[in-house]
Amino acid sequence: MCRGVYAECFPISASAAGISLEERDPWKSCRNVVFWKCKLWMVITAIFLVIFLVILISLILYSNIYTDEDDYWDPDELLSTGIFHNFSGTLELMCGLPHFSSENITKKLAEVYSSSPALGRYFRSAQVISFSNESSTVNYQLVFSVPPSTEEFMENSMNPDFIRNILRQNIYDEDTLNPGTSECVRLKLDPASLT
């Protein structure tokens, strides 16, 4: 221990300071017997183990009991018992080239709607009604097989704005994935023209 400005420093031993090694041990309290032959560290470990097991068991039970109805659907049953719902719309191509045909547009529409998480299970077909390269305007029709359900389903999932926005979102996603691609190299739709 150092005293004064110019004094020498001498280490103080535990015995010289009057402190025993047992009193300096910070883990001594964990070795105290709490009840019967259980020590404090055993009780703390048991509490954490019980909490961990309760969380683990509740997660296992929840995952086994809860099943999301949207994950399990039978497309054949939906096709046989569903009600057909048609949606017609128009869109414009960003550029009209002779090699773009109505089959390309039909294929594009079918890809977008069949892969949609929201409407993929209900989508049945897409058809281009009229298309001319001169005006680059496309009239199309989509067919969905919807379950006989409530008005809420028709107002939300089969809402014309919702159906158009799925295609619009796909167009925007393609633009962000391929930002440097020229407009006339691939089939590119105008998102502002969807009606």
Residues 150, 181, single domain; the answer is: yes
Residues 141, 47, single domain; the answer is: no
CATH of the domain at 126: 3.30.70.960
| Whole-number CA gyration radius for the chain | 36
Q: Structure tokens of 170?
A: 């796909």
Please tell me whether the overall predicted TM-score, pTM, comes out greater than 0.85 for this model: no
In this structure, is residue 10 part of a structural domain?
Answer: no
Residues 121, 83, single domain; the answer is: yes
In this structure, is residue 14 part of a structural domain?
Answer: no
How far apart, in whole angstroms, are the C-alpha atoms of residue 95 and residue 134? 10
pLDDT at 19: 55
Residues 138, 113, single domain; the answer is: yes
Residues 55, 115, single domain; the answer is: no
Examine the fold and report which residue of 40, 65, 90 is the final residue of a domain before the chain moves on: 65
pLDDT at 143: 92
Q: Structure tokens of 154?
A: 């028709």
Residues 120, 143, single domain; the answer is: yes
Phi/psi at 180 (5° precision): -95, 5
Closest CA to 89 of 175, 167, 13, 6: 167
Residues 58, 120, single domain; the answer is: no
Residues 79, 163, single domain; the answer is: yes
pLDDT at 157: 81
Task: Using 50 as the pLDDT threshold, list the residues of the chain that sit under it.
Answer: 1, 7
At 103-148, the pLDDT tens digits run 888 998 999 999 988 888 888 899 999 877 677 788 899 998 887 7
Q: State the residue range of the domain holding 177.
A: 75-193
pLDDT at 71: 60
pLDDT at 56: 95
Q: Dihedral through CA 62, CA 68, CA 72, CA 75, nearest 10?
A: 180
In this structure, is residue 166 part of a structural domain?
Answer: yes
How far apart, in whole angstroms, are the C-alpha atoms of residue 187 and residue 183? 8
How wide is the angle at C-alpha 93 spanned by C-alphas 124 and 173, nearest 5°? 70
Q: For 82-141, where are the alpha helices, taking DSSP H only?
A: 102-114
pLDDT at 47: 95
pLDDT at 99: 66
